[in-house]
Copies of this chain bind each other. A is one copy, B any other.
Amino acid sequence: MNESLRGAAVIGQSGGPTVVINQSLVGYVEAALEHDCITQVLGARHGVAGLMKGDLVDLGRESRATLERIAEVPAAALGSVRMKPGADDVARMVEAMQRFDIRYFFYIGGNDTAETAHIVEQHAADLGYELRCFHVPKTIDNDLRVTDHCPGYGSAARFVAHAFQGDDRDNRSLPGVKINVVMGRHAGWLTAASTLGRRNQDDGPHLVYLPEQVFDPAAFVTQVEEVYRRLGRCIVAVSEGIHDAAGTPFLQVYAEQAGSAVAGQADSHGNVQLSGTGALGDALANLVKGHLGGIRVRADTFGYLQRSFPADASPVDREEARRVGRDAVAAAVAGEHNSGSIALVRRESGVYQCDTFVTPLHTVAKHTKEMPAEFIAGAYAVDPAFRDYALPLTGGIEPMTDFEFHAVSVAAENA
């Protein structure tokens, strides 16, 4: 290992898009251009799929103006991929890297992406090919281990918090039961963000269902009824990943009971499709209609807007996403670590601020992180501790305002 390993650098983007994923990409390009030991600043189209084929582009030749505009564009500008490369695939990737004299490999993504970087590193080491491999964290699910939070989450959380604020106003305006389905199959971080715009006790969401807990349909309809009888309306936040005690997704249980109703939603492996469909929201709405009857029940599924809506990114998230891209390059060039994942750590006191550090790839790869129990506890569905944790990541959510609603004076009525 040395501080002046000379060669080209390549970066790829993997997994589900975020609104700030290109900030990390641009952070990589601008930092890489600052180092003479990096001879070419390359990008792979569609992650490892492009790398295997040598489908690379020269990002070092993009103009500064293009880079700054790309940084603001949601979803992987290089194209993304969902692929766990096998041994042959990894061999082809490292072969391509050797052909282009690539000595620095960066991969932006979640836990699977960190694992891929880990496998590539091991294969290169087996061949005796010196290669530095760094994972750049990204996921709206916020489920990576070690890091305080994941770039991409703050913006998605901001969108979800704003969406629930608006929907709460909509529901006050024309009351009824409203169910909103939020992304996050295994971790409730994004669903919990639905609460970040609440200020008063009667602000929605009034009920929050996370995948960290067992979902009981009978309790659900009873809880909705209780809120509706008390407030005349009810807003529900539901994670797409709600499941029974055995871990079976609620939608799958419901589909099996309902027969043909949502059977078309299962994929070729028999898994129920949760994203890009309104089936879960509609199933829950039907449950409530069946239980309460005669009241207005609606369901929306926020869908891909949560990870791609371009006009409401968190400024904090933007800055941090840029920074982890830059810091991955700095760590790789410094050579103290041959590989690693860039993690964020929150300073303990004062105004919110994060620093970065390098954590070994295996500490981030494979397994994910659920919401801790102390964030979930509390009668109000999500504990205030969660708010303290998550609100700074969104850049702040302005509370909504109500009228004072002054009574009309009697004099006016008798006039």
Contact = CB atoms under 8 A, between A and B. Distances in A.
Interface of A: 8, 13, 16-17, 19, 39-40, 42-43, 54, 56-59, 61-63, 66, 69-70, 72-82, 99-101, 158-159, 162-163, 165-167, 169-170, 172-174, 178, 259-262, 264-265, 275-279, 281-282, 285-286, 289, 297-305, 307-312, 400-409, 412-413, 415
A170 B298 contact: no
B56 A408 contact: yes
B282 A299 contact: no
A131 B8 CA distance: 79
A309 B167 CA distance: 7
Contact of A307 (B69, B170, B262): B170
A275 B260 contact: no
Contact of A169 (B58, B75, B159): B75
Nearest to A281: B278
Nearest to A397: B311
**Copies of this chain, count:** 2
A17 B170 contact: yes
Contacts of A409: 58
A382 to B, nearest CB: 20
A264 B279 CA distance: 12
Contacts of A275: 298
Contact of A403 (B70, B74, B404): B70
Contacts of A401: 66, 69-70, 72-73
Contact of A172 (B75, B178, B402): B75
Nearest to A63: B404
Contact of A412 (B81, B100, B165, B301): B100
Given A261-B260, A281-B278, A310 B165 contact: yes
B406 A61 contact: yes
B178 A304 contact: yes
A221 to B, nearest CB: 15
Given A74-B166, A74-B169, A79-B172, 18 more contacts: A17-B169, A39-B412, A57-B406, A61-B406, A66-B403, A66-B404, A73-B401, A74-B170, A77-B169, A166-B308, A167-B305, A275-B298, A276-B299, A277-B282, A278-B299, A278-B300, A298-B304, A310-B400
Contacts of A167: 304-305, 308
B282 A265 contact: yes
A58 B408 contact: yes
Of the candidates A39, A76, A260, A310, the one having the most CB atoms from chain B within 10 angstroms of its own CB is A310
Residue of A43, A81, A169, A303 with most partner-chain B CB within 10 A: A303
A77 B298 contact: no
A62 B404 CA distance: 7
Contacts of A40: 408, 412
B310 A300 contact: no
A375 to B, nearest CB: 24
Contact of A82 (B66, B75, B174, B403): B174
21 contacts: A17-B170, A19-B166, A39-B412, A57-B407, A58-B406, A73-B169, A99-B413, A100-B415, A101-B412, A162-B309, A163-B309, A166-B305, A170-B308, A260-B260, A276-B285, A276-B300, A277-B282, A301-B301, A302-B305, A305-B305, A310-B400
B300 A303 contact: yes
A264 B170 CA distance: 24
A279 to B, nearest CB: 6
Most chain B beta-carbon contacts within 10 A, residue among A8, A56, A162: A162
B42 A408 contact: yes
A81 B277 CA distance: 30
A281 B285 contact: no
A275 B301 CA distance: 12
